[in-house]
Structure 1
Amino acid sequence: MAAPPKFLDYVLRYYAVEGVSKACLALQETYNLDVDLVLFAIWLGAVRQIVLSDENLTSADALVTTWRDQIIRPLRVIRRRLKATGYPFTHTDIEKLYRDVLGAEIFGEKIEIAVLEAHSANWPDHANIDFRDAISANLAKVIGYFGGTPEDAGPQIETLVNATQSI
């Protein structure tokens, strides 16, 4: 039996599925949540059939909150400003800086992904739970944790659950 995909490998394949990035970004914009935590919740449900407990979600978020707030989000703000800017520099200079900041943001997210995977290494897998149910429960928990309701995020949840069948 093949080993289950590592979190980053899974994320790279999953995020390429049509509709996933749009659904994740909609959740990020609506609830100001951490997309890496959303992807973590999906991976735990899809690959390890883990339903997140309140304690597990809280501890995972506590582990990455400072990183997200002091590194990832500021890089995202800078990247977005560069994209929307009218600075008087040459276009190629701004494009290069934009790509460099985007690369730093993505690299920072990869670090967060590695931290989350390591944090969950000793959590027991639950092979007797349907992965779709585990993903739905995990997404509802993450969205609720960030102040949203699963009902309001229904279309995004449906897209994200269905996308797992494409990888």
Structure 2
Amino acid sequence: MAQTAASAFWQFSLDLYARPHVSTLCLALQDKHGFDVNLLLFCLWSAQVSKVALDSSEISELLDRISPLNDNLVHPVRSARRWVRLCIAGSPETDPAVGLVKVYASLKAVELQSERQVQSALAGLSRQTANRDRTTQQSAASANLCIYRQVIAAPDAAAVLLSQLVFMAFAPPIKPGVSLT
């Protein structure tokens, strides 16, 4: 059975996010520089699939299209989850906050499903690239993230993290037991 673009993008994201340091980088870009993790992952996935760089109008359109989902669903759920996590962390085990552990787990699951909805929307906005210049996956990914950084006016400091993210996304995974020396 053929995989839909949305499920292919979701699987790509799960696989990449599970690699060492990728989640840390993505969250730093999100929390310190204002990037949307799902759009970061889309920029990488799109480059992998099409080897075509997106332009600033495409990045802006993607941001506009996912903004309602983020503003009304993902961000409020994330905010609630983070608040509950702080309540749990700051409470003794006998405190009523212990019951919040289940609430935290539920919010985490809802947040993940919300993120998947954003990814589904992004995948649905993928454009046909048949008549566009192709490049390497890494070059397209670097260009996508550079343009994304410019569109949201993120500081130059974010460029280093974005470069690291591209490297981690396209470097072959290290097999267990294989030495790099």
Tell me how far apart the structure 1 counterparts of residues 96 and 47 of structure 2 sit (CA, whole Å): 46
Percent sequence identity over matched residues?
A: 25
1:129 and 2:135 aligned = yes
Match of residue 25 from structure 2: 23
Once the two structures are overlaid, the 10-residue window that deviates more, 7-16 or 47-56, is 47-56
Once the two structures are overlaid, the 10-residue window that deviates more, 104-113 or 82-91, is 82-91
Match of residue 60 from structure 2: 58
Contact 2:38 2:118 in 1 (8 A): yes
1:98 and 2:100 aligned = no
Change (3 A) 1:73 1:103: same
Alignment coverage as a number of residue pairs: 163
1:153 and 2:163 aligned = no
1:145 offset after TM fit, Å? Answer: 1.8
Change (3 A) 1:127 1:103: farther
Query: Any gaps of 5 or more consecutive residues in structure 1?
Result: none
1:128 offset after TM fit, Å? Answer: 3.2
The alignment yields a C-alpha RMSD, in angstroms, of: 2.2
Tell me how far apart the structure 2 counterparts of residues 127 and 8 of structure 1 sit (CA, whole Å): 26
1:41 offset after TM fit, Å? Answer: 0.6
1:154 offset after TM fit, Å? Answer: 3.2
Q: Deviations over 1:20-39 (max 9, x none)?
A: 10110010011222110111
Contact 2:56 2:148 in 1 (8 A): no
Larger Rg: 2
